[in-house]
Homo-oligomer: A and B are copies of this chain.
Amino acid sequence: MTTEINRRVVLASRPKGVPDAGHFRVEDVPMTAPAEGEVLVRTRYWSVDPAMRGWVNDAPNYLPPVEIGAVMRSFAVGEVVDSRDPAYAPGDIVTGRFGWQRLATVEAAAIDRKVTETDLPQSYALGILGLNGITAYFGLLDVCAARPGDIVAVSTAAGAVGSAVGQIAKLRGCRTVGIAGGPAKTALCRDRYGYDAAIDYKSQDVAAALSEAAPDGVDCYFDNTCGPISDAVMTRLRRGARIAICGTAAIQDWDPLPIGPRVHRQLLVARARMQGFLAFDYADRYDEARAALADWLRYGQLVSHEHVLQGAAAAPGAIAMLYRGENTGKLLIEVD
């Protein structure tokens, strides 16, 4: 083991907004043997998530920014190859905050869980059975409090989170309208993810298309974008509407605060609620979400699609690719 090389991706410089390939550096360094209380994980997939933009920017966030020269923070899944913590043994499949590195020597506390759904693809642990699926589950069912018969609008509707939101909403008896960019993605929304209607924000007037798809307005809006798409949805709120703010992909920079239409009157007239949330805050209920998602997957009621890039060299440009909307499904790096 001691001669193995840890290929890793570190933050080379501090971006303003979305990081691109030039903000990272791939390097090969000697593996670090685990000390007491540490575990060595050979990672198989690295996650690429919208939240990673926030993790590298020096702006108020829920976690301190990744330091220059440090391994890029990320979720990953892989196999324990050495353990100096009694809770883990070689052969365990684990997921956690291992960063973009092939051989992660981490404190046992960095492991989020042992993956037990061994009948399902291992990569699911980073997407539909990881934070993406869990975010969709609680954002829709808890924050939006979606009920049967509700009209649910979803932005980035064909994405890793959005596609799960749309499908769970259908499972719960809602009517769904997906908003995505381009004909390929709206086709995915309709054909693969079962949306009742799909709006292409690149070629359609979102407010007008929404008026047609949902003439009485929307009860729930799962908001991954902020920006013009959300501004349009906000004009179509039904009384008592609930808006879950999951992400703000359409806004590149929050310092200084960008301006846009004030939402107060729309919230007041509709007696509507707008709420920010993070899946992390539901940690004590992850098992509930994962059990439901795994069963839906097993019975074919929920589908998940992944976009897998090959090798560490693909990682530096992956976040920018995500923000350009070029991925189809959950974006992952398969480790080389």
A161 within 8 A of B: no
Closest B residue by C-beta to A226: B264
Given the known inter-chain contacts A223-B264, A226-B262, A267-B245, please indicate yes or no for A272 contacting B272, CB distance below 8 A: no
- Please determine whether A272 and B275 come into contact, CB atoms closer than 8 angstroms: yes
Protomer copies: 2
- Please determine whether A264 and B281 come into contact, CB atoms closer than 8 angstroms: no
A257 within 8 A of B: yes
A121 within 8 A of B: no
- Please determine whether A261 and B257 come into contact, CB atoms closer than 8 angstroms: yes
CB neighbours (8 Å) of A261 from chain B are: 257-259
Using a CB-CB cutoff of 8 Å, which residues 254-291 of chain A contact chain B? 254, 257-278, 281
- Report the minimal beta-carbon distance from A285 to chain B, rounded to whole angstroms: 15
Given the known inter-chain contacts A259-B260, A273-B273, please indicate yes or no for A265 contacting B278, CB distance below 8 A: no
- Report the minimal beta-carbon distance from A312 to chain B, rounded to whole angstroms: 30
- Report the minimal beta-carbon distance from A267 to chain B, rounded to whole angstroms: 4
CA distance A265 to B278 in the complex (A): 12
Contact of A265 among B251, B263, B274 (CB under 8 A): B251
- Please determine whether B273 and A61 come into contact, CB atoms closer than 8 angstroms: no
Using a CB-CB cutoff of 8 Å, which residues 198-233 of chain A contact chain B? 223, 226, 230
Closest B residue by C-beta to A270: B276
A299 within 8 A of B: no
Output the residue of A223, A260, A263, A276 with the most chain B CB within 10 A: A276
* 6 A-B pairs with the lowest CB-CB distances in the bound complex, closest first: A268-B276, A267-B276, A257-B261, A273-B275, A226-B264, A260-B262
Known: A259-B259, A267-B275. 15 other contacts (CB 8 A): A226-B264, A245-B268, A246-B268, A248-B265, A251-B264, A257-B261, A257-B262, A258-B261, A258-B262, A259-B261, A259-B262, A264-B276, A267-B274, A271-B281, A272-B276
